[in-house]
């Protein structure tokens, strides 16, 4: 059961639809059936993309940790308890 991206020529709404063999999709906004099927880019998962995502996540986490440490240090320097 493929999922396709569509653009309604009547109202311009873009949406995804699960299309069975004899099913004719309709726009969820205006219920029109004058649709243009759009080019869909599949999601690609591989060891390389996983490694890149993990590396980006680790860099983001390290940056957030450094910002937390800096914020805590600034708080401690400027507030008397």
> What confidence tens digit (pLDDT) does each residue in 27-45 have?
999 999 999 988 876 767 8
Among the ranges given (24-33, 38-47, 69-78), the one the predictor scored with the smallest mean pLDDT: 38-47
Can you tell me the distance from the alpha carbon of 26 to that of 32, in angstroms, rounded to the nearest whole number?
Answer: 5
Q: Are strands 3-8 and 14-18 parallel, antiparallel or unpaired?
A: antiparallel
13: confidence class by pLDDT, cuts 50, 70, 90: very high
Can you tell me the distance from the alpha carbon of 57 to that of 32, in angstroms, rounded to the nearest whole number?
Answer: 42
């Amino acid at each position: 059961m493929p999922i396709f991206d569509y653009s309604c020529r009547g109202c311009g709404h873009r949406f995804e639809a699960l299309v069975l063999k004899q099913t004719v999709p309709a726009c969820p906004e205006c219920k029109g059936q004058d649709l243009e099927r759009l080019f869909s880019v599949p999601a690609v998962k591989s060891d390389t993309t996983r490694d890149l995502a993990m590396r980006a996540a680790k860099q983001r986490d390290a940056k957030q940790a450094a910002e937390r440490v800096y914020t805590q240090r600034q708080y401690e320097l400027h507030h008397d308890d």
